[in-house]
A and B are shown apart, each in its own frame.
Chain A
Amino acid sequence: MNKTLNRRDFIKTTSAATIGVATVASGITLTTFASANKVPVTNEKRWGMLIDTNKLTEADIDGMVSACQQEQGWGSEVHSTGAQRPDWIKKLKVKDKATGKISNLALMCQHCEEPPCVDVCPTNASMKREDGIVLVDKHLCIGCRYCMMACPYDARSFVHETLSNQKEHMPRGKGTVEACTMCVHKVDKGEAPACVVSVNSDAVIFGDLYDASSQISQTLKTVQSTQIRADLNLNTGVRYSGI
């Protein structure tokens, strides 16, 4: 590390994703340890998503759901009943009563700036990272499910059964609440969330809402977009256009 770097440059350079191969003392290489974020994330960024419901087809949404299931390892719970099954992202049909226009949208955790789930959590498990990603710290979760009741988007699920063979990057277990993590494990490596990657068009854009030059900020500046339940003033990180 160059000694003349000031703190900010240091943060900039070290937080930039470096997909590398760490070599252990023995010379044995461990590709699983491709290193990524080395410093805490800051509030200089805010991750967001823009979903264009005019461009997003129903097949796209199905693709997003299965990409999420594959990436995070949910959806094959065999002992849970329909309502108990996890649902990190779902397909929703909304109809404008006045015009009859039907739109299909993908609904998941909206990563609110003022998340009600965080307000109600008695253990601080429900939390918002500095960069705006709302998560459940399952290490602190006691499974009370207040957050599930507080969420206006019904975005969170509860694990009702014992699981095994979880994804390495997504530990999940009975008795705790879970939801969309905006693929935080990928974002911290400089990658986009799995559902965004699965869509071939630019119907779903992911990026930094605070970076004026990012594609998402540029698009938000030019198209009409909305937050679902904007009346609640939660300032969601996930925005929709075309509805």
Chain B
Amino acid sequence: MVRLTRVSKFYPGRPSAALLDVSLHLPPGQFVYLTGPSGAGKTTLLRLLFAAESPSRGEVRVGGADLGRLSSRQVPLLRRKVGVIFQDFKLIERQSVFDNVALTLRVAGQVGNGLAQRVGEVLEQVDLMDKAQVAAGTLSGGEQQRVAVARALVGRPPLLLADEPTGNLDPQAAMEVMRLVVAAHAAGATVVVATHDPKLLTMVKGARVIHLEAGRLRETT
């Protein structure tokens, strides 16, 4: 599903590498934790995986595509196969929960009954059916993150990326969000969760844990 080959990432005006010589293979259906202190390069690695950054050196492959060589026309097609969740939700606050989730399908050209039905299904899954018409910005943090999870999952992406998904949530809401992420994994998705919260690591038995430190990769199983 994901293969990094000797990937380095330098940001302009920064002498030290955000990622240095990282090689990594994630087979389909794997659940991976990405850990490491602040500034270790976790976000950078995730951004490489949905083509929000391109590698300075090395090769990033997702689902067979070499992301360093994607044309700007191909990037949206990749994004539709990768669901992403952030610490700060990134919802369109003035729009309804339904519209936030439907956006993923709409940009892919889907309309009508099929869309409404699929959005309803996912809202049921994240237990927000009763809030479907509420403006997303008025929800609690936990609810907003569940909307973000629904938006990430509604297109059934084979790869789900989560960058500190529970960072802004209380333990109860964090549990609910992680339960949804785990369910997506159970349904077949490859999942990468970046976190520096050790408590999260215990939530999935047998998950792979990858440790980043100053841009270098170390595996702890």
A binds B: no
Interface residues of A (CB under 8 A from B): none
Interface residues of B (CB under 8 A from A): none
